[in-house]
Every structure is written in structure tokens, then in C-alpha cells.
Structure 1
Amino acid sequence: MSRRLWLAGGLVFGLTLLLNLPAAWALRLIDWPPGWQPAQVSGSVWNGQAQQAGALGPLAWQLRPWRAQLETGLAQQHWTLTVSGWPWHWQAQLLPGAAVAGVNSPYLIGGQWQGRLQIDGRGARCVGASGQVQGHDVGLLTPWTLAVGEVRLNVECQQGLQGLADVQREGEHHLQARLETDGGGIRVSGQVTPQAALTPLLVQAGLLKAGDERFEKVFGAVRR
């Protein structure tokens, strides 16, 4: 057998192995944070499923050179994340879908979500963002019941990619969180009333001093 045939055979074997690489084997090579190791994994790296990973589940993904899609359940809702295009011009979209049953998790969040988030980028740079995802009647279901209220999520690209969250329950609290990916930190601020159900939890977490109604806290090195 000629050398060319040996090389062609090796190339076909390598491509076949790569295309059918088991997801369960590949995911075991990753050093996951505690509690986030994917469970009950099946399929391949390119087209697979997992029952749960942390608070997410069930999960299903499809990977192609020009498109990647992840579908999962979170906060009693089905979510679809799609990234398409090429490194020099790509687009990411996040869409909430139908309600789903929650996976086993110490914290379970419920609510009704709608909207769309879109990010346009070139290389590692975010060049545009649009849309908003809104959560109505959002609340903590376990380990205890707590009404959170209305939630708005959006992103900005003016000074690098930033994620913004606004949480409000009329007459009780108004919280805001900003994730600055370039600065590597999260800035959380808010205002609460003394009778707000969230006040004791914020005090216990060290975000709010007893007797205060306003707070601001930075986690990580947020760029000034």
C-alpha cells in the first residue's frame, strides 16, 4: 500500500474519531466548579445532551464551524443561546421559551420570562447590543418562598461587554447589578424599605447594614 493511501486512511480515521468524540469523555477532562459537573451525558461533543449541570438542565447542544446552539432549562424556563457567524463577524442571541420543570438545585427560581437579547461582535470585541429580557412575577421557590418582583436584563457595549440587571418590587426594593467583563467584577447597588422581605437577607449576606436603606457593593476588580 502506497504512502498516500496510508495518509488518506489515517486522515479518514482521525476525522471519524473527531466527529464522534463522546461528550461524556471530553467533559470529564474539564475542571468544573463544585456542583457543576454535567450529569447523565450522552451523544458527542458536536451533538449531545446532559441531564443537569449545576442549576441548568436538561441541556442539549449542537456545534458547527459556523454555528453553536445551546438549549437548557433555568428558572423554570426553557432558554436558547445561539452563536452564529465567523470570528470576524458573529452574532449571539438569547431567547426564553416555554416553561419547564426545574432540576434538583438548592435554589429554585420561578417566573414568566419573555424578550430577546442580541450581541454583535468582531473577534473578541463587542460592537453592538440590543433587546431586553423581562421576568414577571419572579420569585424564589426553594429553599424558602420569596417574591422578587419584576426583572429586566440587558447588555451594553459602550465600554466593553457589560451585563445589566434591574430588580424591582413596588414598595419594597429596587436593586441593580452590573457585570463588567473587561474589569472582571460585579457592582451591586440598591434601595430597600424596612418592611421589605428582602431586607433581612441582605443584612445577613453583608450587603446592607442594619438600619440602612441603601447599599453598594463591588465584587472583583471593576474598572473605574
Structure 2
Amino acid sequence: MSRGLWCAGVLVFALTLLVKLPASWVLRGFDWAPGWQPEQVSGSLWHGRIERLGLVGPLSWQLRPLQRQLQVDAGLQQQAWALRVEGWPWRWQARLQPAPVQATSRSDYLLDGQWQGALQFEARGSRCIGSQGELSGQQLAMLAPWSLTLGSARISANCQQGLQLLAEIERAGEHRLQARMQPVQQRLQLSGQVQPDAAITPLLVQAGLLKAGAGQFEKRFGPR
């Protein structure tokens, strides 16, 4: 056998092995945080499914390297979400939007509501260079472990100083909560204004975010 045929055979074998590589083998090599270990993993590295990953589940993905596309579908709190990524690592676009409601994995916390809209990103490597759109939620409510009406929500993104995710939850006459997250820097800032008789006040006090008798708060998490 010539060296060329031998190399071609090795290449075909390596590609076949890579395509058929079980997703469970790959995921087993990661150091997962407590409570976020993948459960019931099936499929391959290119087309697989996880029944539960922390609060998320089911989660499925399909990677098409030749078409430069990644499709991820995930269930979270009785809502399905669809993520589409296209392009090469040095220049890519992503779109996140709610999908039709589906059965999702059970968790200790249960939220309900209606979501619409879409978030779109453009990036070079890990650097976000542009974003547009927003996600909006209506009639949001916590069903477990407490019964609590949250109101409406908006989620948007900003790339002027690195990727920032901005979320706002408001119920007229009761509370207005804001969250600013910088995923790359691993920073999170929570703030809010709350009426003394708001239904959410005892929960915020119990969580250590709001001092008893106070009407507003601000907390920062992550490295300075």
C-alpha cells in the first residue's frame, strides 16, 4: 500500500471516529458545577440530546460544520428556546428566540408567562460587535415554590463595552427590578425599587437583597 493510500485511510478512519464520537464521552471530560451534571445524554458530538442540564432540559443540538451552522433547542421553565449560530469562529452571527411551548424538565422553581421577540448578535471570536432586538415577557408569574405575580419583562443586549445582557421586570405600583450581566467578565449587578407593601418584598428580604424597611437595593457579584 502506498503512503498516500495509507494516509487517506487513516484520515477517513479519524473522520468517521470523530463523526460518531458519543456526546457522553466528550461531556464526561468537563468539570461541571454541582447540580449541573448532564443527565441522560444521547447522540453524537454533532447531533445529540441531554434530557436535563441543571435548570435546562431537554436540550438538543445539531452541528453542521460544512454549512457553518449550529442549532440548539432548549426547554426552560415551560418555554422552548431556539438558538441559531452561523459563520466561522472569527466572524459569526447568532439569533435567540422563543419557540412553541413544550414540556420541560422539572425543577424546584417554576415560572410561567408568554415570551416573544428575538435577540440577534454579531461577533468576532468572543467579542460582541453588534446586537439588536429584544425579548419581552408578559403575564410572568412564579408558581413554585411561591405563588407570586412578577408582571412584565424585557431582555436586551449591548455590545458597546463588551457583551452586556440587560433584564428588567416590572409590576406597576409594586416593583421594578433590573439585572445587568457581563458574561465574559463573570459580573452581575442587581438593583431595584420596591414598594413596602409589594408582594415580592418578603422574598427579596429573605434572599438578602433588600433590607427590611428599605425601598431600593443594589448588589454586585463577581470580580471587581
- TM bucket by the smaller chain? over 0.9
State how far apart, in whole Å, the 1-side matches of 2:186 and 2:103 are: 33
Structure 1 residues 184 and 39, CA gap change in structure 2 (3 angstroms): closer
Tell me which stretches of 4 or more aligned residues in structure 1 moved more than 3 Å.
Answer: none
State how far apart, in whole Å, the 2-side matches of 1:162 and 1:126 are: 9
1:180 Cα offset (Å): 2.1
**Preserved CA contact (<8 Å) 1:102 1:108:** no
Q: For structure 2, which runs of at least 5 residues remain unmatched after alignment?
A: none
Root mean square deviation of aligned Cα:
1.3
Q: TM-score, normalised by structure 1?
A: 0.94
Matched residue SS, 1:25: helix
User: How do residues 1-150 of structure 1 correspond to structure 2 at under 5 angstroms?
Assistant: 1-65=1-65, 66-150=68-152
Q: TM-score, normalised by structure 2?
A: 0.94
Q: What letter matches 2:42 in structure 1?
A: S
| Deviations 1:142-168 (CA, angstroms, capped at 9, x unpaired) | 222111110100100111110000000
**Preserved CA contact (<8 Å) 1:155 1:163:** yes
1:28 Cα offset (Å): 1.3
**Preserved CA contact (<8 Å) 1:178 1:187:** yes
**Preserved CA contact (<8 Å) 1:75 1:111:** no
Matched residue SS, 1:72: strand
**How many residues get paired?**
222
User: How do residues 191-206 of structure 1 correspond to structure 2 at under 5 angstroms?
Assistant: 191-206=193-208
State how far apart, in whole Å, the 2-side matches of 1:171 and 1:102 are: 32
Taking only the aligned residue pairs, the percentage that are identical comes to 56
Matched residue SS, 1:102: coil
Matched residue SS, 2:146: coil
Structure 1 residues 198 and 64, CA gap change in structure 2 (3 angstroms): same
State how far apart, in whole Å, the 1-side matches of 2:132 and 2:162 are: 14
Matched residue SS, 2:197: coil
**Preserved CA contact (<8 Å) 1:50 1:59:** yes
Matched residue SS, 1:27: helix
Q: What letter matches 1:172 in structure 2?
A: E
